[in-house]
Structure 1
């Protein structure tokens, strides 16, 4: 399942990650521990999931609270600082296993590798538009 939300702004990147985890939790894809797993990963490994072009892909291991595979996209209208980089899109993945992780990463890579697709994502005005775009990219 893929869900999406557009936020005007957040004061720090952890708010965007928290919001995406709350949405994933609302849909039964993760437990409340998942957010903590992502934050712990940042503390341990730094911003390894920054993909460039204003995109981050927060995630943690399945054993940190993943119940089912899913993706939550948070688009910010105002970029937020993430370890010295301006970020507007957070693709928060929850992968139940390695195969699911690969499928989700492939979808995200499709969008991020095409400048036009990424531009289109940034221009989306609603979560419905973002979800339709993700469907088109599959």
Structure 2
């Protein structure tokens, strides 16, 4: 980039002399707090260190500490959380995955589909319910063809999505469960496709975090794959979210 920067946030290590913080694409509240602490400490703006040292000294005077590193981390987390003006994790107030994913938005297939056919099939419930336009589907297909496409969670899940201006009309999520693995351009064998239509980008964090959790749970994915019908699949997802 031609513009000057002081520090970099990235999901992969970059060739840069600037301070850089490597982060997960989806972070828990504790990870967010930890990141805030590391950034403030790196920039010399953190007053938490002194408070941690003082608390740590008091605790060691009256208690036996078995894991000093973990205790320090927990104290840092607690103090920063107390100072947080607007907590980042107010998940109870945010919609869950099943607030977006309706039972009749789920499809199953045992056919051997191309990835293009599968993505279109997965998007059809949203298109039919007028939550997206054809532009949404085409933009998702174009993105998936690009080298380095990152719209995957775990090893079996793809999450086609795009910006609101590219055919997003309403908030919604659909799901295609494929009995046969679908070969995507990067070599991934996909069984689950969740098109994500988010018009209001301020409310989807909880749903995406839940989706990330179940996409990395191989036991749950096997149960979902073996579910007898879409209603059973929906209930399985509802139970864990």
TM-score, scaled relative to structure 2? 0.53
1:15 Cα deviation after fit? 0.7
Aligned mates of 2:240, 2:209 — CA distance in 1: 10
Distance 1:134 1:126, change over 3 A: same
Q: Is the 8 A contact 1:55 1:87 kept in 2?
A: yes
Matching of residue 98 in structure 1 with residue 201 in structure 2: yes
Matching of residue 47 in structure 1 with residue 149 in structure 2: yes
State how 1:50-89 maps to structure 2 within 5 Å.
50-83=152-185, 84-89=187-192
Distance 1:95 1:10, change over 3 A: farther
State how 1:6-45 maps to structure 2 within 5 Å.
6-44=108-146
User: How many residues are paired up?
Assistant: 138
Aligned mates of 2:143, 2:206 — CA distance in 1: 21
Extract unaligned runs of 5+ from structure 1: none
Distance 1:39 1:101, change over 3 A: farther
Which has the higher Rg, Structure 1 or Structure 2? 2
Aligned mates of 2:118, 2:219 — CA distance in 1: 24
Give the corresponding residue for 1:137: 240
TM-score, scaled relative to structure 1? 0.89
Which has the higher relative contact order, 1 or 2, with Cα contacts under 8 A spaced 6 or more apart? 1
Q: Deviations over 1:35-86 (max 9, x none)?
A: 0110122234543112233211111111111111111110111111112121
Which range moves more in the overlay, 95-104 or 128-137? 95-104
Q: Secondary structure at the match of 2:165?
A: helix
Distance 1:35 1:42, change over 3 A: same
Q: Secondary structure at the match of 2:203?
A: helix
Extract unaligned runs of 5+ from structure 2: 1-99
Q: Is the 8 A contact 2:131 2:168 kept in 1?
A: yes
